């Protein structure tokens, strides 16, 4: 759509020079004069009453400046939908690794010694580690006061009973009648594991108290403005007295849509009036941060013998661990649980369940990799048992423009069919089998894209350049550069003419956080609207000077140009510099949007965690694997990806997102698994729980299909999440086609493949 000068053109990242020279400053690179180091005492038990805490020996240690426990901080809780977690365990501990106390000392070894000197007496309680066992009537209860917790969602569902902290129900059509009308009904149970986000940079905060008594937070986060609000509520400090200054983010993937180190560092800084640094150790990352939700998905699908999907009942049991920082994941899982298919009769029940384990939270794919693994594994089973081609079955049922989702949300910019057709052509599909032990597997997915509140300011400078201010964080995916391109396109500038100020809560307007494919689509749209506001003001100012109606003017090549007579123009620097000197200026564009404004129909959805998403993204992936039937080892030779992402803004950024998502999906499919026994993480490091390396990557081919999403900037949608969700089912499907082993739990380990070969379907 349209001929763009900047959009879709190769544009190097604006922070790339800083990052290749080592000059980019991350939170762990902040060393302030007089800075103290914090360490945290963590629970050694999965569930226990705290009988007594004695900090006297720690306080007496030379070099220790402060020791805090729950008794020293306000009794306040925070969370995403359910406010269930305090800064420190209060009264009892609920998982191994939970914060019990914290120390600030002159250096890290002293802080660590002081932590060892804190004495805690525990009275162990029965614990529960399995989400289905946690639903049993006699299961140990983690949060006795759950019903009294503040919640931020529609509580019409039977939410919040026992260990269920969030529940959603979706019902459309008549699912029982649908099963009755089906020729075949398939019922399967799928299991998924906890996967660590494995951002390279650990969680870290340096908290300082400035000369005016304001709290200043240097951190690594996807949501500075929400951090500010949470710190205010936890510490009892007014928002105006808190400034969050995010540093470059060394990877987030949802794992930094969290507030983990900030409150403790801030409380210690307020107590000591010194800068305090709290950085998670590598082990703490694997015990006390968050992972993707593990869980169980039960799927029952009714189908006609020609392959037409008639009815689907999905039950999602997501294990959120001891607290629920992001139970929304199960809501996103429920949305993706039908796959990108038209199914007239659907029922989904989705539960977020407490267990005495490390917390689950947001991670790239955000609830959808789990339910997509179930849906797409079962689609292949249906194809096999009905004797249908896997592509044909999907093409027969896929959503098209104008359809509504099972939630009742009408869809637009739906190119799922196109992704299937293109992927099929790219792999030269002649059926899944390629040869002995070699096969292709296909999977197709849908992910909710964009929405929620964001805002942007575009300030024009006297030299004709622009400064964009946005609270929408760049977590490394390149949002700064995308925003630069968007503003440059609107204002007739080159990307280098645009400076993007990002995240600093003193300088940027509100954004709710970067997650769920909303950075480019929603954050970018606010920048576009703010730039258009600035453009209109520039044109009005120039119109007076040029004696031409503003409607005849446009911005290009750093000039205001009369469209009807291009030789008549003013340089932007003259309009802005001259105008601002004479009249004081300034020209400031602004925009505030919320792309999630329509509520779901309560007759269809009960317990919705959100309003309707802005749009949806789609993708088809094909994995080519070779399985050794003697060892059970699966080697992925190639992955082909076709994405429906609307207009491409930054081609290198898109490529990085698509391939990076594949890598995360590959680890999820084959080996990444945070193993927990009796509440204790067994493999808390990259040595034992390793993301894919360069030599693990398969050959890659990818493409996009033409599309335009009317709600996104220049028609753009997101791609960061949907790039992950299909990989595991595509690989599992290929494994079955290669050697006849159907593995229904992730990861697809050699042992499971051998077991499946020995026992047929397991």
Partner 1 sequence: MKQVVQLNVNDAEHELALDPSRTLLEVLRESLGLTGTKEVCLLGSCGACTVLVDDRPVLACLTLASACQGKRVLTIEGLRQGEALHPLQQAFIDKGAVQCGFCTPGMIMAGKALLDRNPHPTPDEARAAIAGNLCRCTGYEQIVEAIVAAPAVDEAARVGAREGGHYLMPDMAE
747 binds partner 1 (CB under 8 A): no
CA 61 to chain centre: 42
Task: By CB under 8 A, tell whether 461 contacts partner 1.
Answer: no
Nearer to partner 1, 413 or 620 (CB): 620
Collapsing DSSP to helix, strand or coil, 240 comes out as helix
User: Taking CB under 8 A as the rule, does residue 557 contact partner 1?
Assistant: no
Nearer to partner 1, 262 or 285 (CB): 285
- Should residue 578 be labelled a site residue for partner 1 when binding is judged by CB under 8 A? no
Q: Which of 2, 3, 21, 603 binds partner 1 (CB under 8 A)?
A: 21
- Which C-beta is closer to partner 1: that of 30 or that of 531? 30
Measured from the CB atom, is 202 or 333 closer to partner 1?
Answer: 202
Bridge partners, 68 (sequence order): 102
Q: Does 36 bind partner 1 (CB under 8 A)?
A: no
- Alpha carbon of residue 515 to chain centroid: 4
Q: Which residue's CB is nearer to partner 1, number 418 or number 517?
A: 517
Least Å distance between CB 758 and partner 1? 33
Residues in the chain: 762
Q: Tell me, by CB under 8 A, how many residues bind partner 1.
A: 57
Q: 267: which residues sit within 8 A by CB, 6+ positions away?
A: 68, 72, 73, 87, 102, 234, 235
* 46, 131, 202, 275: residue in contact with partner 1 (rule CB under 8 A): 202
Give 3-state DSSP helix, strand, coil % of the chain, rounded to 5: 30, 30, 40
Among 4, 12, 189, 751, binds partner 1 (CB under 8 A): 12
Q: Is 690 exposed, middle or buried (CB count within 10 Å of its CB: 0-12, 13-18, 19+)?
A: middle
User: Shortest approach of partner 1 to residue 556 CB, angstroms?
Assistant: 21
Given the complex with partner 1, which of 309 and 662 has the nearer CB atom?
662
Give DSSP secondary structure letters for 308-335. Answer: -EEEEEEEEEEEEETS-S-THHHHHHHH
- What residues numbered 685-744 form the site for partner 1, per CB under 8 A? 685-687, 690-695, 697, 700
* 8 A C-beta contact, residue 453 and residue 516: no
Strand 92-93 and strand 433-435: the pairing is unpaired
Alpha-carbon distances of 60 from 22, 101, 115, 271, rounded to whole Å: 40, 15, 12, 16
Q: For residue 360, what is the DSSP state?
A: B
Cα–Cα distance measured from residue 724 to residue 657, given in angstroms and rounded to the nearest whole number: 9
Q: How many CA atoms within 13 Å lie on the side-chain side of 532?
A: 10
Q: Which of 509, 661, 707, 712 binds partner 1 (CB under 8 A)?
A: 661
Q: Which of 84, 98, 154, 201 binds partner 1 (CB under 8 A)?
A: 201
Q: Is 250 in the site for partner 1 (CB under 8 A)?
A: yes
Tokens 């400076």: give the residue.
Answer: 499
| Smallest distance, partner 1 to C-beta of residue 723, A | 9
CB under 8 A: which stretch of 191-199, 227-235, 391-399, 404-412 binds partner 1?
Answer: 191-199
Q: Does 28 bind partner 1 (CB under 8 A)?
A: yes
Residue 477 CB, nearest approach to partner 1 (Å): 6
Residue with Cβ nearer partner 1 (413 or 723): 723
607 counts as binding partner 1 under rule CB under 8 A:
no
Q: Which is nearer to partner 1, 23 or 116 (CB)?
A: 23
**Interaction with partner 1 in 282-321: which residues (CB under 8 A)?**
282
Contact present, 327 and 131 (Cβ < 8 Å)? no
Taking the C-alpha atoms of residue 585 and residue 604, their distance in angstroms, rounded to an integer, is: 51
The least CB distance from residue 628 to partner 1, in Å, is 21
The CB-of-53 to partner 1 minimum distance in angstroms stands at 29
Shortest gap between Cβ of 648 and partner 1 (angstroms)?
13
* Position 664 contacts partner 1 (CB under 8 A): yes
- Residue 33 near partner 1 by CB under 8 A: no
- In angstroms, what CA-CA distances link 32 with 21, 36, 563? 22, 9, 54
Q: Which residue has the tokens 């614990």?
A: 127
Residue list 47-66, contact with partner 1 (CB under 8 A):
none
Q: Is 361 in the site for partner 1 (CB under 8 A)?
A: no
CA 82 to chain centroid, in Å, comes to 18
> Which of residues 156 and 685 has its CB atom nearest to partner 1 in the complex?
685
Contact between 760 and 682 (Cβ < 8 Å): no
Binding to partner 1 by residue 342, rule CB under 8 A? no
Confirm or reject binding of residue 187 to partner 1 (CB under 8 A).
no
Q: Counting contacts by CB under 8 A, is residue 622 touching partner 1? A: no
558/574 Cα distance (integer angstroms)? 10
Strand order of the sheet with strand 569-571? 553-556, 559-562, 569-571
> Which residue among 7, 8, 26, 67 contacts partner 1 (CB under 8 A)?
26
Closest CB to partner 1 among 311 and 639? 639
Of the listed pieces 7-15, 121-129, 257-265, 301-309, which binds partner 1 according to CB under 8 A?
Answer: 7-15
Q: Which span (209-217, 315-323, 508-516, 654-662) binds partner 1, by CB under 8 A?
A: 654-662
Residue 663 CB burial class (10 angstroms; 0-12, 13-18, ≥19) = buried
As measured in angstroms, the least distance from the Cβ of 474 to partner 1 is 9
CB of 202 to partner 1, least distance (A): 7
* Helix ranges, 510-587 (H): 524-546, 572-573, 579-583
Give the strands of the sheet with 438-449, arranged side by side. Answer: 433-435, 438-449, 615-627, 634-644, 699-704
Structure tokens at 410: 């009408």
User: Which of 4, 23, 549, 675 is the binder for partner 1 (CB under 8 A)?
Assistant: 23
**Shortest Å, Cβ 655 to partner 1:** 7
Q: Distance between CA atoms of 321 and 146, rounded to whole angstroms?
A: 15
Kindly state the smallest distance separating residue 17's Cβ from partner 1, in Å.
7
Q: For residue 663, state whether it binds partner 1 (rule: CB under 8 A).
A: yes
Question: What would the 3-class secondary structure string for 448-516 be?
Answer: EECCCEEEEEEEECCCCCEEEEECCCCCCCCHHHHHHHHHHHHHCCCHHHEEEEECCCCCCCCECCCCC
**Site membership for partner 1, residue 248 (CB under 8 A):** yes
Is 330 or 362 the residue whose CB approaches partner 1 more closely? 362
597 lines the binding site for partner 1 (CB under 8 A)? no
Task: Point out which span in 10-18, 122-130, 164-172, 269-277 binds partner 1 (CB under 8 A).
Answer: 10-18
- Taking the least distance from each CB to partner 1, the nearer of 379 and 731 is 731
Contact 472, 479 (CB under 8 A): yes
By C-beta, is 7 or 353 nearer to partner 1?
7
CA 65, CA 70: separation in Å to the nearest integer?
17
Interaction of residue 158 with partner 1, rule CB under 8 A: no
Q: Based on CB atoms, which residue is closest to partner 1, 426 or 700? A: 700
Q: Are 514 and 36 in contact (CB under 8 A)?
A: no
- Binding to partner 1 (CB under 8 A) within 468-527 occurs at 475-478
Q: Which helix (H) or strand (E) holds 579?
A: helix 579-583
Question: Which one of the spans 56-64, 198-206, 287-295, 495-503 is the region binding partner 1 (CB under 8 A)?
Answer: 198-206
CB contact set of 16 (below 8 Å; sequence gap of 6+): none
Interface with partner 1 by CB under 8 A: which residues?
10, 12-13, 15-26, 28-29, 31, 197-202, 248-253, 281-282, 475-478, 652-653, 655-656, 659-664, 685-687, 690-695, 697, 700
């Amino acid at each position: 759509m349209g001929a763009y000068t900047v959009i879709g053109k190769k544009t190097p990242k604006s922070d790339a020079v800083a990052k290749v020279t080592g000059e980019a400053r991350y939170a762990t690179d902040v060393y302030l004069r007089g800075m103290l180091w914090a360490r945290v005492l963590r629970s050694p038990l999965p569930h226990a009453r705290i009988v007594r805490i004695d900090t006297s020996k720690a306080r007496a240690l030379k070099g220790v400046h402060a020791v805090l426990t729950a008794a020293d901080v306000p009794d306040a809780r925070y969370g995403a939908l359910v406010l269930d977690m305090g800064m420190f365990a209060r009264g009892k501990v609920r998982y191994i690794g939970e914060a019990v106390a914290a120390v600030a000392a002159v250096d890290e070894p002293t802080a660590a010694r002081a932590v060892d000197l804190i004495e805690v007496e525990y009275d162990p309680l029965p614990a529960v580690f399995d989400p289905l066992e946690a639903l049993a009537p006699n299961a140990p209860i983690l949060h006795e006061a759950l019903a009294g917790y503040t919640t931020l969602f529609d509580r019409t569902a039977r939410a919040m009973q026992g260990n269920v902290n969030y529940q959603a129900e979706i019902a459309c059509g008549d699912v029982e009648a649908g099963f009755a009308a089906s020729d075949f009904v398939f019922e399967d149970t799928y299991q998924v594991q906890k996967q660590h986000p494995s951002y390279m940079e650990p969680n870290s905060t340096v908290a300082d108290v400035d000369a005016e008594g304001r709290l200043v937070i240097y951190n690594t986060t996807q949501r500075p403005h929400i951090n500010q609000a949470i710190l205010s509520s936890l510490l009892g400090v007014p928002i105006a007295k808190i400034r969050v200054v995010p540093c470059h983010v060394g990877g987030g993937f949802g794992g930094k849509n969290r507030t983990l180190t900030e409150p403790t560092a801030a409380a210690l800084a307020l107590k000591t009036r010194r800068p305090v640094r709290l950085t998670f150790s590598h082990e703490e990352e694997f015990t006390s941060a968050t992972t993707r939700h593990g869980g169980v998905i039960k799927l029952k699908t009714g189908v006609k013998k020609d392959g037409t999907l008639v009815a689907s009942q999905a039950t999602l049991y997501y294990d959120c661990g001891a607290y629920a920082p992001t139970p929304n994941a199960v809501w996103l899982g429920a949305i993706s649980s039908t796959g990108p298919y038209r199914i007239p009769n659907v029922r989904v029940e989705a539960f977020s369940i407490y267990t005495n384990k490390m917390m689950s939270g947001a991670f790239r794919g955000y609830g959808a990799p789990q339910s997509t693994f179930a849906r797409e594994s079962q689609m292949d089973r249906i194809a096999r048992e009905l004797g249908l081609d896997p592509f044909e079955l999907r093409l027969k049922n896929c959503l098209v423009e104008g359809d509504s989702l099972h939630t009742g949300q009408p869809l637009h910019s739906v190119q799922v069919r196109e992704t299937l057709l293109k992927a099929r052509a790219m792999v030269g599909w002649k059926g899944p089998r390629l040869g002995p032990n070699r096969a292709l597997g296909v999977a197709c997915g849908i992910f909710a894209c964009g929405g929620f509140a964001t805002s942007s300011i575009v300030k024009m400078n006297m030299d004709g350049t622009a400064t964009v201010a946005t609270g929408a964080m760049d977590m490394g995916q390149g949002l700064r550069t995308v925003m630069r391109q968007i503003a440059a396109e609107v204002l007739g500038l080159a990307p280098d003419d645009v400076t993007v100020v990002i995240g600093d809560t003193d300088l940027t307007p509100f954004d709710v956080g970067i997650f769920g494919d909303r950075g480019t689509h929603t954050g970018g749209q606010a920048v576009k609207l703010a730039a258009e506001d600035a453009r209109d003001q520039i044109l009005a100012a120039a119109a007076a000077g040029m004696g031409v109606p503003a409607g005849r003017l446009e911005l290009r090549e750093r000039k205001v140009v009369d469209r009807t007579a291009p030789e008549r123009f003013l340089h932007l620097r003259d309009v802005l510099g001259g105008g601002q000197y004479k009249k004081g200026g300034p020209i400031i564009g602004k925009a505030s949007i919320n792309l999630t404004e329509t509520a779901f129909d309560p007759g269809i959805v009960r317990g919705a965690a959100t309003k309707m998403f802005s749009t949806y993204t789609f993708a088809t992936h094909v994995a080519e694997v070779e399985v050794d039937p003697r060892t059970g080892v699966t080697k992925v030779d190639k992955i082909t990806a076709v994405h429906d992402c609307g207009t491409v803004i930054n081609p290198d950024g898109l490529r990085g997102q698509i391939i990076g998502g594949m890598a995360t999906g590959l680890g999820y499919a084959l080996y990444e698994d945070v193993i927990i026994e009796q509440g204790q993480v067994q493999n808390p490091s990259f040595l034992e729980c390793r993301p894919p390396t360069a030599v693990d990557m398969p050959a890659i081919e990818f493409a996009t299909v033409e599309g335009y999403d009317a709600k996104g900037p220049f028609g753009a949608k997101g791609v960061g999440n949907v790039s992950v969700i299909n990989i595991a089912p595509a690989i599992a499907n290929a494994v079955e086609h290669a050697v006849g082993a159907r593995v229904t739990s992730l990861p697809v380990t050699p042992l499971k493949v051998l077991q499946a070969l020995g026992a047929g379907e397991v």
